[in-house]
Amino acid sequence: MAPKVSGFRFSGIAAGIKKNGRPDLALAVADEPAVGAAVFTRNLVRAAPVVIAEQRIRAGAVRAILVNSGNANACTGQPGLDATLATTAALANALKVPVEQVIPASTGVIGALLPAPRIVDHVGPLIAALREDDHEAFAAAICTTDRWPKVAHVELAGGRVNVLGIAKGAGMIHPDMGPPQATLLGFLFTDARIDRGSLERALGSAVDATFNASSVDGDTSTNDTIVALASGKSGNVPEAELTAAFTAVSAALTRSIIADGEGSEHVAELAVTGLPSAELARSVARVIATSLLVKTALQGKDPNWGRILAAAGRAGVRFDPSVARLSIGGVEIVRGGVAVGAEAEQQAARHMRGPSYRIELELGAGAGSASYLMTDLGHGYVDVNASYRS
C-alpha cells in the first residue's frame, strides 16, 4: 500500500555521500507552504542542520525538507553551517522557493564536514525524482545503520485525512527532545487543515509519550530532529484527534526503531507503577532501561530481577524495596521485595526468548506510572559501534 498524503511529494537518491553507494539524499516537498512544527535534540552540542532548522521552523511555513544520511555535519564549526546554508540554498533556488522555507536534517558520522558539492550537484536529479507516492524512497535514503526503513500511516476522518510518519534510527538512541528541540530523525506529514499552535502541541505531546520514552543505548544524539508538516489539503480534524493519530504513528515508528536497535534481539515494554508521580516513575524507568547489567541480562534471557531492582535503587527516587512486585511476560517473579521462586523464574525466562515482552515493576501504591521501550545489549552492538567509523 502506498498511502498518499495530499500536497506532498517525495524522493530519495544516491548522491555519493555514503561510501557504499547506497541512497543518502532525501527530499520532501510541499506543493504550497505547509504549516510546520519541530522538536530538536536537547544536547548542548548541536549539529549545523539543527541550528539552522530551528531558526527556520519558527516562521511556521515550510516548502521542503532536505535530508542526507552518511554525514551528521556535527562539530564542524562555521564551515559546517556554511555547507548546510549552501545545500539548502541550491535546493531553494531550483525549487524557486524562499531558502527560509527549506528545513535541513543530517545523520551519520559526527565531526566530518558535509560534502556540500555532492548534494548541490544532485539537486536536479533529486527534484526530478519527486513523486506523490514515493515516500519509500525517502525512507530508504535517510537510513544509516538501520536494518529496515521505518514508515507508519494512520487514517483519520473516515479515511479522508492522513498522517504519514517516516523515521530512522538504530543507535545513539536516547531521545531527549523538547519544544522546540532527535540521530533519531522523524517526519510526520498530514493533509489535515490545522493551525500552527495545534500542530505544535500535537507533535510535542506525541513525541513525549513515544520517542522520548525509549532508549537503545542512552546516548542522546547531536542531530535528533522531528518535523511535522500539515498541508491543509484535506479536511479539518480536532486537535485531540490529530494528537491521537500523531501518537499512534510515533509509537509505531518508535517500536520499529527500538526493534532495530543496533545488535538487539528483544524489545521490552517496561512499565513502572506505584510511585507518587509519573515523573518519578519515568526517572526509575529510564535508569532501568539504560542499565548495562539489565540489558545484558535481557540478552541472556535471564529474569535477573536483582539487577532490575538494583537499577531502580540508584535512580534517586524514594520507594520501599520491601513492597516491590515484578513480573515478566505476566509472570510474577518478585513479591514483597523477594523472589517468588525458581519455577516462576523459569516461566518468565520462556517469555524472554520471544522478540518482545512486558516487564512490570510495581514500587508502591502511588498513582504515578510510566512506560519505556528498551532493548537488550548484545555482541552486535559492540560490532557495529567499535567499527562504525574506522
Where in the sequence numbering do the catalytic residues fall?
183
The conformation of residue 262, written as its DSSP 8-state character, comes to T
Contact with a copy of itself (CB under 8 A) among 222, 250, 369, 371: 222
Tell me: does residue 19 bind a copy of itself (CB under 8 A). no
Which listed residue (12, 49, 165, 378) binds a copy of itself by CB under 8 A?
Answer: 378
Nearer to a copy of itself, 150 or 307 (CB): 307
Give yes or no for a contact between 171 and 152, defined as CB atoms under 8 angstroms apart: no
39 binds a copy of itself (CB under 8 A): no
Instruction: Compare residues 245 and 331 and give the one whose CB is closer to a copy of itself.
Output: 331
Q: Does 297 bind a copy of itself (CB under 8 A)?
A: yes
How many H helices and E strands in the chain? 12, 16
For residue 360, the Cα-to-chain-centroid distance in whole angstroms is 23
> Which positions from 331 through 360 interact with a copy of itself, judged by CB under 8 A?
334, 336-339, 349
**Cβ-based nearer residue to a copy of itself, 193 or 350:** 350
In the complex, the smallest distance separating the C-beta of residue 110 from a copy of itself, rounded to whole angstroms, is 3
The number of residues that bind a copy of itself (CB under 8 A) is 67
Q: Does 114 bind a copy of itself (CB under 8 A)?
A: no
Q: What is the DSSP string of 194-246?
A: --HHHHHHHHHHHHHHTGGGEESSSPPPS--EEEEEE---S-B--HHHHHHHH
Do residues 104 and 53 lie in contact, with contact meaning Cβ atoms separated by under 8 Å? yes
The C-alpha cell of 195 is what? 493551525
User: CA 328 to CA 88: how far, in whole Å?
Assistant: 49
The mark string for 147-186 relative to a copy of itself (x by CB under 8 A, - otherwise) is ------------------------xx---x----------
Q: Which of 68, 162, 221, 371 binds a copy of itself (CB under 8 A)?
A: 221
Q: How far apart are CA 240 and CA 15, in angstroms?
A: 40
Please enumerate in sequence order all residues whose Cβ is within 8 A of that of 45, keeping only pairs 6 or more positions apart, or say none.
74, 75, 222
Q: What are phi and psi of 65, to 5 degrees?
A: -120, 125
Q: How many CB atoms lie within 10 A of CB 103?
A: 25
By CB under 8 A, what part of segment 229-288 binds a copy of itself?
A: none
In the complex, minimum distance from the CB of residue 4 to a copy of itself, in angstroms, rounded to a whole number: 37
Which residues lie near a copy of itself (CB under 8 A)?
Answer: 42-46, 72, 74-77, 79, 109-112, 171-172, 176, 217-222, 290-293, 296-297, 299-302, 304-307, 309-315, 317-319, 321-322, 334, 336-339, 349, 377-379, 381-382, 385-390
